[in-house]
Structure 1
Amino acid sequence: MKLAAPPLPSLWIAFLISMLLVSSNAAFSPRILQQSTSNSKNYLTNEALWFNQTLDHFSPYDRRQFGQRYYEFLDHFRTPDGPIFLKICGESACNGIPNDYISVLANKFGAAVVSLEHRYYGKSSPFKSLTTENLKYLSSKQALFDLAVFRQYYQESLNSKLNRSNVENPWFVFGVSYSGALSAWFRLKFPHLTCGSLASSAVVLAVYNFTEFDKQIGESAGPECKAVLQEITHLVDQRLASNDKELKAMFGAAEV
């Protein structure tokens, strides 16, 4: 797979977007944004498109593929040299491109908006059965290469529609939470494929024993629910110590 670089002048898009997001300009105030989204439909588009994605990007022998769902919105696109905004979907079904702040930015910059559903979620699962063996291809590393392959596929598809070749539009990637981490990692892993990224609330620091998360769950759940959760956790720990195979079998995790 040949991964070509976008033109260097496209870096101004990243700068302008970052400036606009922190600007006090009324056009980007929360009140105006809320009005623009609440008075219109929830999605810019929910018309699904498909392409064949590689199952294992790290095997030179495995040539299996699966159908991966994506969406495109071209109403604001400035043909032919407008930027392309890639909205990364995270750990849930991706049912379309939401009508949110990215729509405002796309209108401002004349951008096309595309969004790729994460492997194993929604309708983009490589397997019908999610056994432990089948789940081994579910990882953030595979997902990053999914994005890179899709980026190249869509750019080539756009070039074909515009009857041109070897032309690169500037790409900018967006993500929130886990997909925000993917956005940041994508920029680091493939700096030649994007002029910038917006990683909103990105979980870029992996914590192995993240006890603070459990504490927050307990506070949010309230004392009664917290006590029940603690009791269940204690019972599971006891059963794991006495008969871990039986317990794992109850959750379909006997092979783990």
Structure 2
Amino acid sequence: MTCTSLIFAFFILSSVAARSPLFNPHNSRPRIPHIDEPDESQPVYHFTSGQQISSYGETYYFDQLVDHTDPTKGTFKQRYWHNYEFYEPGGPIVLMTPGEESAKGFTGYLTNGTISGMIAQATNGSTIVIEHRFFGDSNPHPDLSVQSLQVHTIEQAIEDLAYFAKTVKLPQPDGDKLAPGKAPWILVGGSYSGALVSYTMHTHPELFYAGYASSAVVQAIGHFWKYFEPVREWMPANCSADVQAVIQYVDSVLDSGNTRDIADIKANFGLQDVIHLDDFAAALKAVFEDWQSNSITSRSNSFYEFCDALEVGPNGWHAPASGWGLEAALQAWGKYWNETLYPSRCGKLDAESCIGSHNPDSPHWTNASLPNSNRSWNWMICNQFGFWQVGAPEGTPRIVSSYLTAAHNERLCQYEFPGAFWGLKKVSLLNALTVDKTYGGWDTTTERLIFANGERDPWREATVAAALATRNSTDLQPHLLSDGFHCSDMSRGSAISPRIAAVQKQALQYMTQWHAAWKPSAAT
């Protein structure tokens, strides 16, 4: 689900003595990309009047309800950032949240270097970046204990956006007269926050007039083996062939139960100290960590470094589309793990201390102090989404091991949040189905909602671009598809392809048309 690399810190630093895993044993997180932050020291001027307004970096605080089902529980300070350089009377309020991480680093989304600012410029609107509850400094409670996290749900996040829109007094001219009905409100988000755009408009069509959802993971899927399908399809063919050969061999060795052979295969990757097979399988998927943050115009990240290590021979020759074959690939992958990936992630730790996840008393699981975006997100996937990135079913090509299972992830939920998930509540398939039934998933009928997706996005099969999605694109719910990765369309610049630029152009055309048709109402 939060689109920079949906690869939210695949590892978590912790003490050697505590034997906490440096790799996050859960999954890659769906995040939106960071962009360069605007210079907070530079003044900002209104586009037409030339009047100086506040800087992009000025932080504002909103008194948000702790629990929307019981307002008597009080409020907490929710951070937001605001800019009205393009605003003219009648223009929209463009509200965006980065979702599952601190919003402090996302003030670039106030500017026209991003899709939210581009929409604001095209429609003479204001931009807002608001921090999601339990991320950054916007915390309803002073810790991340199971008791505190009871108000950390999709439902509460939706109502945060609704309550903010209805009651905020914006720091701009006539900022107390811009509630929904008096001004059009447009929601923008990507990845999980893109799904939140869809869910919020589904719940409150009377408040939010239009939306833009990039790589929106609207369909919660408990056992999400298809996360790896776009990677398998779009990675270099020789690399894909050799990875599949290695994984098939690894699984056959693990299935054999032969302790000597299992020890040998773990030692090939420098992971001979890893005790449990599910931890070993989880570690091998680390090579796919950077895929979702790829750029159409660049191959400069560790994923392509890994493929080059497998497919470029010592003489500089590249393997054919069929790859070099199992023996060469197994040796090359092991060499890359031992010489490059392991030292960068584990340093001088033994493999069990670095990667092992079977110690329920580790501070990695029990530390409930603030802030900890990984713990906050893990609560959401354990409690509602699932999205367990597991091995593909039998008979399906695999680039990750079948020993990477939902049971592995559900065990970690028990460790991290003891007592919270029991009975049917610990079954990720059922939790995900509840989310889909409540908010429509792929089949939402919400109008004036743009879905933008990329063919190479590993989260594609949880978006409306999925092969199993049945709802077609319309002029009131356009489904726009580019050749991008995860949330590639959320910013402009040299990293985007012509197809991504075309998606942005289409989206701005829809937004300007819809904005022109908006009329004030007494909605609120």
TM normalised by structure 2 equals 0.35
Give the equivalent residue in structure 1 for 2:288: 220
Does residue 255 of structure 1 match 2:418? Answer: yes
Aligned-residue sequence identity (percent) comes to 24
Paired residues for 1:170-249 under 5 Å: 170-213=184-227, 217-218=285-286, 220=288, 223-224=333-334, 225=337, 236=357, 239=358, 247-249=359-361
In structure 2, distance between residues paired with 1:47 and 1:189:
31
**Greater percentage in strand:** 1
Question: CA 1:158/1:169 → structure 2, altered by over 3 Å: closer, same or farther?
Answer: farther
> How far has the Cα of 1:200 moved from its partner?
0.4
- The Cα RMSD (Å) is 3.5
What is the alpha-carbon distance in structure 2 between the residues aligned to residue 90 and residue 106 of structure 1? 20
CA gap 1:169/1:53 in 2 versus in 1, 3 angstroms: same
Provide the rounded CA distance (Å) in 1 between the counterparts of 2:127 and 2:215. 21
The change in CA–CA distance for 1:218 and 1:57 in structure 2 (over 3 A counts) is: same
Amino acid at match of 2:95: L
Q: Which residue in 1 is equivalent to 2:81? A: 71
Amino acid at match of 1:117: E
Deviation at residue 64 of structure 1 after TM alignment: 2.2
SS of the aligned residue for 1:97 comes to helix
3-state DSSP of counterpart to 2:361:
helix
How do residues 98-137 of structure 1 correspond to structure 2 at under 5 angstroms?
98=108, 99=111, 100-101=113-114, 102-137=116-151
Q: 1:75 to 1:164 in 2, by over 3 A?
A: closer
Rate the CA distance shift 1:210–1:158 in 2: closer, same or farther, 3 A: same
Amino acid paired to 2:81: Y
Displacement of 1:161 in angstroms is 4.4
1:41 to 17, 22, 38: 38
Shift of 1:207: 1.0
- Structure 1: stretches of 5+ with no match in the other structure: 1-36, 240-246
Alignment partner of 1:138 is 2:152: yes
CA change 1:157–1:49 in 2 (3 A) is closer
* Paired residue secondary structure (1:47): coil
Distance 1:125 1:214, change over 3 A: farther
Task: Give the counterpart of 2:92 among 72, 83, 86.
Answer: 83
Amino acid at match of 2:167: Y
Give the TM-score normalised by the residue count of structure 1.
Answer: 0.68
Distance 2:189 2:180 in 1: 27
The amino acid that maps onto 1:248 is P
User: Relative to structure 2, which stretch is displaced further, 98-107 or 152-161?
Assistant: 152-161
**Count of equivalent residues:** 207
- Give how far 1:42 is off: 6.3
Quote the Cα distance in structure 2 between the aligned partners of 1:103 and 1:207: 31
Within 2, Cα distance between the matches of 1:185 and 1:191?
10
Tell me if 1:97 matches 2:165: no
